[in-house]
Amino acid sequence: MYFKVDSIAIIGAGPSGLAALYEFLHTSKEGVSTFGSKEPEEKAFKEIVVFEQKSNPGGVWAVPDEEKVSYLKDLYQYDSLQDIIDSKEKSLQSAIRSSNSQLPLEIDKLNDSVSWKGSPLYKNLFTNIPKRFTRFSTSAYKDIGNGRPIDPFLRDYELRSHIQNYVSEHDLEKYIKFNTEVVKAVKKGEKWQLTLNHKDRDTDKKEFYLKEFDAIVVANGSYTLPHIPQIEGLKEYEEAHPGSILHSKFFRDYEDYRNQKIIVLGSSVSGLALSQYLKPIAKEFILSRKDRKEILDWMNDIIYSKEVTVKSPIKRFIPSSKEILFDDGTTVKDFDKILLATGYYPYYPFFEKDLLSLSVSPEKKGPANNSRIKNLYYNIFKIDDPTLAFVGLIKTSQLFTGFESQSAAVAGIWSNAKQLPSLKEQYDWELKKLEETPDTSRFYVFSNEDIKTKYFDRIKDFFPFERKYPLDENYYEHFEDFKNGEQKLADLSLSIMRKQVVFENGEYIMK
């Protein structure tokens, strides 16, 4: 299949979107990569635009914009995820059709209650991947923070600084349209037509316009729309006791919870991260979770330690008596806060309803927090229309390498340096992967042992000519850093729970 891709829209200016931007800028008209050196004189792609809702780059690590959403109320006015998507800017579509970037449709102070662009960052956050693996490969490894209790992990501002330096070093900001939301992305003939919403932060005025592209990269991350579990009485409980239920996305400062009775529902990464801060300062603390082994060993080390009181999932909220009933039949009463560490919906509201097919768990009526996008070859190319690509879906400790590798594969295919295999081969890859993993978001997961041979070694066949192999040449030498990092993460979390590591005067210190 020959591609005529001159213009590309990238949705999202987080690490994955920035990796895609850099890769496209360093692919020549002949499909040769100049990665790590100067941009080619004749580029493969004539126009590349990144659209970012926030006012600065970094995605989930960006400096948070103010979040104005009363999220629980907003979510419960809808019956399904599709209702939320359908609600966005419907009444504007006819007026927008005649607009463009030179003559946009202007709206004063339009209600933005379902934009969900806020960040889940909170006070004193640090990464859960060692610093060696949270950098772009064009950036030299800097062994900062040596000897700190949180070493080898980085504080959020340190990673944010690295991302911002990357943007500055490679002069990427001129390609990014900040404060701009992609409202709709519709395929019309051979072109993708985007409905764009730019907000002027000084005047609070919004401008809507249309723009066409040959191809789209979706790099909007996985932390946008909070998943609120369907638990009996939850809505009524929050109405009776306003502010007592909060999704982890809106958690900001653990000091707000000191001496309170707290339940964290969910034991994924965010649930355990909150637990490490809340357990030592809470009057009473419970971690509510399903009885199953988590995917990473360090998570199980924390869950099954004696530091955490673990109970079964919440079965019912009883607003009249302020009680909470668990699956095991026990109840608790008068808890101050219930934090929902229940993940996020796969959220692509700019696409038409039937464009993407999402997996559905047997017990669910529709897409849930563990759904995956079906029919993506190597979790990148939409098989029936590869002018739509995703960067950043895979889950691996080699996260930044993953962003760069996926971007390189897209650049190689869209520049016609390489070709995708037959449709049958692409669908066969998906079927074979489903034999190894469930039809959930775990489909995206690649272990440290598998990521090289089962992913990077395979998609490198799609890279532009002369594109260097993405993994560090000392990969196996550093392989133990992954395992050591996971063990350190468990030990560090438990030390924080035991008050052996505390945060004082702007730093983590040993007690």
pLDDT in tens, 145-170: 788 999 999 999 999 999 999 999 99
pLDDT in tens, 286-328: 999 999 888 888 899 999 998 999 999 999 999 999 999 999 9
- 349 with 315, same domain: the answer is no
**Strand ranges for 271-364 from DSSP E:** 284-288, 310-311, 314-318, 323-326, 331-333, 337-340
Across 116-135, average pLDDT: 86
Q: What confidence tier does 79 reach under pLDDT thresholds 50, 70, 90?
A: very low
Residue 477 inside a domain? The answer is no
> For residue 37, how many other CB atoms are within 10 A of its CB?
9
- 151 with 120, same domain: the answer is yes
DSSP 332: E
| Closest by Cα among 59, 355, 9 to 215 | 9
- 221 with 256, same domain: the answer is no
What is the 3-class SS of 449-468, one letter each residue?
A: CCHHHHHHHHHHHHCCECCC
Q: Which residues contact 90 (CB under 8 A, 6 or more apart)?
A: none
Q: What pLDDT score does 77 carry?
A: 47
Residue 480 inside a domain? The answer is no
- 61 with 143, same domain: the answer is yes
Residue 405 inside a domain? The answer is yes
Please report, rounded to a whole number, the percentage of residues in the chain having pLDDT higher than 70: 87
Neighbour-count burial of 50, counting CB atoms closer than 10 A to its CB (0-12 exposed, 13-18 middle, 19+ buried)? buried
**Strand ranges for 41-164 from DSSP E:** 47-51, 105-108
Distances (CA, A) of 355 to 72, 271, 383, 397, 417: 28, 32, 12, 30, 27
Q: What pLDDT score does 489 carry?
A: 93
Please tell me the distance from the alpha carbon of residue 221 to that of residue 17, in angstroms, as a whole number: 9
Across 117-145, average pLDDT: 86
- For residues 360 and 241, which has the higher predicted lDDT (pLDDT)? 241
Name the residue with tokens 């034999």.
Answer: 435
Asked whether residue 330 carries a pLDDT value surpassing 60, the answer given is yes
Asked whether residue 377 carries a pLDDT value surpassing 90, the answer given is yes
Residue 235 inside a domain? The answer is yes
Q: State pTM to two decimals.
A: 0.91
CATH of the domain at 187: 3.50.50.60
Q: What pLDDT score does 370 carry?
A: 84
Q: What pLDDT score does 125 carry?
A: 93
Last residue of a domain, one of 462, 481, 500: 462
Asked whether residue 449 carries a pLDDT value surpassing 90, the answer given is no
- 23 with 124, same domain: the answer is yes
pLDDT in tens, 17-46: 999 999 999 999 999 999 999 999 999 999
Please tell me the distance from the alpha carbon of residue 51 to that of residue 17, in angstroms, as a whole number: 9
Residue 193 inside a domain? The answer is yes
Domain count, the chain: 2
- 318 with 378, same domain: the answer is no
Last residue of a domain, one of 326, 342, 358: 342
- 336 with 405, same domain: the answer is no
Across 55-60, average pLDDT: 93
> For residue 91, how many other CB atoms are within 10 A of its CB?
6
Q: What pLDDT score does 14 carry?
A: 96
Q: What pLDDT score does 93 carry?
A: 52
Lowest average pLDDT, out of 88-92, 452-456, 497-501, goes to 88-92
- 271 with 379, same domain: the answer is no
Asked whether residue 105 carries a pLDDT value surpassing 70, the answer given is no
- For residues 311 and 94, which has the higher predicted lDDT (pLDDT)? 311
Q: What confidence tier does 337 reach under pLDDT thresholds 50, 70, 90?
A: very high
Asked whether residue 115 carries a pLDDT value surpassing 70, the answer given is no
- 163 with 257, same domain: the answer is no
Pairing of strands 323-326, 331-333: antiparallel
| Closest by Cα among 485, 379, 390 to 437 | 379
Last residue of a domain, one of 296, 311, 342: 342
Lowest average pLDDT, out of 232-246, 273-287, 418-432, goes to 232-246
Across 443-459, average pLDDT: 91
Q: What confidence tier does 373 reach under pLDDT thresholds 50, 70, 90?
A: very high
pLDDT in tens, 474-491: 766 676 777 788 889 999
Residue 489 inside a domain? The answer is no
Q: What pLDDT score does 140 carry?
A: 83
Asked whether residue 193 carries a pLDDT value surpassing 90, the answer given is yes
Q: What confidence tier does 176 reach under pLDDT thresholds 50, 70, 90?
A: very high
Asked whether residue 69 carries a pLDDT value surpassing 80, the answer given is no
- 385 with 421, same domain: the answer is yes
Residue 93 inside a domain? The answer is no
Residue 448 inside a domain? The answer is yes
- 283 with 299, same domain: the answer is yes
Q: What pLDDT score does 83 carry?
A: 53
- 59 with 143, same domain: the answer is yes
Domain with 427, as residue range(s), is 7-79+99-225+345-462
Q: What pLDDT score does 91 carry?
A: 44
